Chains A and B, each alone.
Chain A
Amino acid sequence: MNTKSLYQEVILDHNRKPRNYGILDNASHHAVGHNPLCGDRLDISLNLSGEHINHIAFHGESCAICKASASMMTAAVKGKTRADAEILIQEFRDMALGKLNLDGHHHLGRLTVFAGVRDLPTRVKCAILPWHTLHAALNSVTTTSTEVTDDSMHAPVDSAS
């Protein structure tokens, strides 16, 4: 277990000064993510122009891991196509669950600072919640939860009770 690598400067910085924090007026897509086990709540709104994510914003109550993950996620997907965002969502999820070969080909870049959560099963959900919520927003599901079990996105995540 190497929890030290989780609270790296990048993560602490994004927690302190989250990027794209706030509410988007006239959002075309919106979703609220909720982790009932720890009370974390995250609101994501975005504007799609054609297939591109033009604007994205988030706000909510959460731990540092979740907030930094949301902040870095919004920075990463802004300007990208919906399809590219879905690829990142899949890769991030695989990384958090320890199923991604970090040395292989992927698009995560600096997002690999979150790789350490794979050793902390109770914190995996904190890191994934923003991505889960983005997935829901892109697919116009307006509320979601880390406990939605019929969603393949979350079935493998361990319970954090």
Chain B
Amino acid sequence: MTPVESILKPQIVSAFDVERIRADFPILKLKVDGKPLIYLDSAASGQMPQPVIDRLVSYQTTQHANIHRAVHYLSEIATAEFESARRKLQHFINAREDREVIFTSGTTDAINLVMHGYGRKFIGAGDEIILTTLEHHSNIVPWQMLAEEKGAKIRVVPINDAGELLLDEYEQLFNEHTRFVSVMHVSNALGSINPIKQMIAFAHARGVPVLIDGAQAVPHMKIDVQDLDCDFYAFSGHKMCGPTGIGILYGKADLLEQMQPFKGGGDMILSVTFEKTIYNTIPQKFEAGTPPIAAAIGFGAAVDYLSEIGMEAIATHELALLNYATEQICRIPGVRIIGTASLKTAVLSFVVDGVHPHDIGTLLNQEGIAVRTGHHCAQPVMQYLKIPATSRASFAFYNNMAEVDTLVAGIRTAQNVFV
């Protein structure tokens, strides 16, 4: 055993039984080309534990009907379960009220909702929106569309070589035209955890509202939207043991009430005549049409599952994985870790001298290891770092130390192919 192994391994076993947790994830038993699957792509999408799968099945087999519409038995059950899922999500992020929790199809949809509902109403010509170099394309493109439509301007917070936001520069971007800040909590490409609480306080002192893209944060740490005091917080179910097609936009009630609806249709109205339509109250105002009911209920089951394990325990285990993997990968000659912020989630982006990330990805796949290669929907980060792409191993609480060892061996094997 290396010194790191001997320090970390026993601790983990006592604090957190990862093998028991792994048994909850049927997909982890899969073989790829005869090799056990090593799933290190949870930042792109996480895997689903059996209790969540079971919940989807039980909903679909015994409770399904449309919601908010009929008086019959199934419709009432489905409505109650759907609203109960909303309250589970509310408590999971500690929102003050359940009507501040809007079901969307995901983070992208949630950001677009704020762009249309808030941005198009309150941001105009000459106004400025602050984003950061680290953003995922889903938190860049909607604002560019708005800026183009309104003649508004986008200002970008720069980063340093470690992948950390430059706070001084952030503060200097503010002026009398600043109308909105939209920033990610955790970088999907590099894992950097941004100092959003400080950034929110600074913006609020200047009367500027802040949206947080929490897609990569909620799966890995305890989030308290009241403590953060963010105005909006967006995240996706599929990155945190839930189904695809469901996500959350948290928004402060008074802001949500001032906003215009994003989509028009059924459920989002109180009354419709051809002369005038009266919109429903929040959250229904933003939930036009039949929502993904099963997915929302599955999302509720996912946060039950995470809560039972405990976000603190998850964060502790993932930090141990990050430290061990960082240490091990640093020891491989010719491998460089991209993203070395002092506060990180368990995301390891790396480049290997003389080997293109796509070749690494294909060769690791041969060993059953799933990593993501490419620009990770964050081209501005890659441009800043002057690299076309990286390989990214992203860990979740169901990964173990042995999988790190397999990754390290896989990288060495790939290197050997190219010597």
Chain A contacts to B: CB under 8 angstroms: 1, 3-4, 6-7, 12, 15-16, 37-41, 61-65, 120, 122-123, 126
Q: Verify if B53 is at the interface (C-beta below 8 Å from A).
A: no
Contacts of B417 in A (CB 8 A): 7, 12
A15 touches B418 (CB 8 A): yes
**B355 CB contacts on chain A under 8 angstroms:** 64
In contact, A64 and B365 (Cβ under 8 angstroms): no
For B33, list chain A residues within 8 Å (CB): 1, 3
Q: Measured between alpha carbons, how far is A61 from B363 in the docked complex, in Å?
A: 19
5 A-B residue pairings within 8 Å (CB atoms) = A7-B359, A12-B417, A61-B388, A63-B359, A126-B358
Determine the residue in chain A with the shortest Cβ distance to B356: A63
Chain A residue nearest to B366 (CB atoms) is: A3
Chain B residue at minimum C-beta to C-beta distance from A120? B362
CA distance A120 to B356 in the complex (A): 16
Residue contact B366 to A65, C-beta cutoff 8 Å? no
Q: Is residue B291 within 8 Å, beta carbon to beta carbon, of the partner chain?
A: no
CB–CB A38/B366 < 8 A: no
Min C-beta distance of B390 to chain A, whole Å? 10
Interface size on B, residues (CB 8 A): 18
B354-373 vs A, Cβ < 8 Å mask (1 yes, 0 no): 01111100110110000001
Cβ-defined contact, A39 with B418, below 8 A: no
Which A residues touch B359, using CB under 8 A? 7, 63-65
A49 to B33, CA, bound (A): 49
A120 to B355, CA, bound (A): 18
CB of B375 closer than 8 Å to a CB of A:
yes
Q: Is the CB of A12 within 8 A of B418?
A: yes
Check if B358 sits within 8 Å of A123, measured CB to CB.
Answer: yes
Q: Which of chain B's residues have a CB closer than 8 A to the CB of A61? A: 388
CB distance from B380 to the nearest CB of A (A): 13
The CA of A3 and the CA of B367, in the complex, are separated in Å by: 10
Instruction: Kindly list 13 other residue pairs between chains A and B, CB separation below 8 angstroms, not including A4-B366, A38-B373.
Output: A3-B363, A3-B365, A7-B363, A12-B418, A15-B418, A37-B374, A38-B358, A38-B388, A38-B389, A39-B388, A40-B388, A63-B357, A63-B359
Which B residues lie at the A interface, using CB under 8 A? 33, 355-359, 362-363, 365-366, 373-375, 382, 388-389, 417-418
Task: Tell me if B374 and A38 are in contact (CB < 8 A).
Answer: yes
Q: How far is the CB of A97 from chain B (nearest CB, A)?
A: 18
Q: Report the minimal beta-carbon distance from A42 to chain B, rounded to whole angstroms.
A: 12
Return chain B residues, CB-CB under 8 Å to A38. 357-358, 373-375, 388-389
CA distance A47 to B365 in the complex (A): 40
CB-defined contacts of B388 to chain A, threshold 8 Å: 38-41, 61
Q: Nearest Cβ in chain B — how far from A122, in angstroms?
A: 8
Distance from A74 Cβ to chain B, minimum over Cβ atoms (Å): 19
Residue in chain B with minimal CB distance to A61: B388
When distances are taken between beta carbons in the complex, the residues of chain B under 8 Å from A40 are 388
| Complex CA distance for A57 and B329, rounded to whole angstroms | 37
CB-defined contacts of B356 to chain A, threshold 8 Å: 62-64
Q: Give the docked Cα–Cα distance between A126 and B375 (Å).
A: 15
Q: How distant is the Cα of A39 from the Cα of B366 in the complex, in angstroms?
A: 23
Please tell me if the beta carbons of A65 and B358 are within 8 angstroms of each other in the complex. yes
A102 vs chain B, min Cβ distance (A):
21
The list of the 3 closest CB pairs from A to B, nearest first, reads A39-B388, A63-B356, A63-B358
Q: Check A39–B382 contact: CB distance below 8 A.
A: yes
- B418 near A64: Cβ-Cβ < 8 Å: yes
A115 CB to closest chain B CB (Å) equals 15
**Distance A64 CA – B415 CA, assembled complex (angstroms):** 12
Residue in A1, A39, A122 whose Cβ sees the most chain B Cβ within 10 Å: A39
How long is the Cα–Cα vector from A61 to B373 in the complex, in angstroms?
A: 15
Distance (whole angstroms) from the CB of B137 to the closest CB of chain A: 11
CA distance A1 to B373 in the complex (A): 19
A1 — which chain B residues lie within 8 A by C-beta? 33
* Closest Cβ neighbor of A1 among chain B residues: B33
| Neighbouring A residues of B375 by C-beta, 8 Å | 38-39
- With a cutoff of 8 Å between Cβ atoms, the chain A residues found around residue B366 in the complex are 3-4
Q: How far is the CA of A122 from the CA of B417 in the complex (A)?
A: 20
Docked Cα-Cα span, A99 to B359, in Å, equals 24
A3 CA / B359 CA spacing, docked (Å): 11
**What's the minimum C-beta distance from A17 to chain B, rounded to whole angstroms?**
12
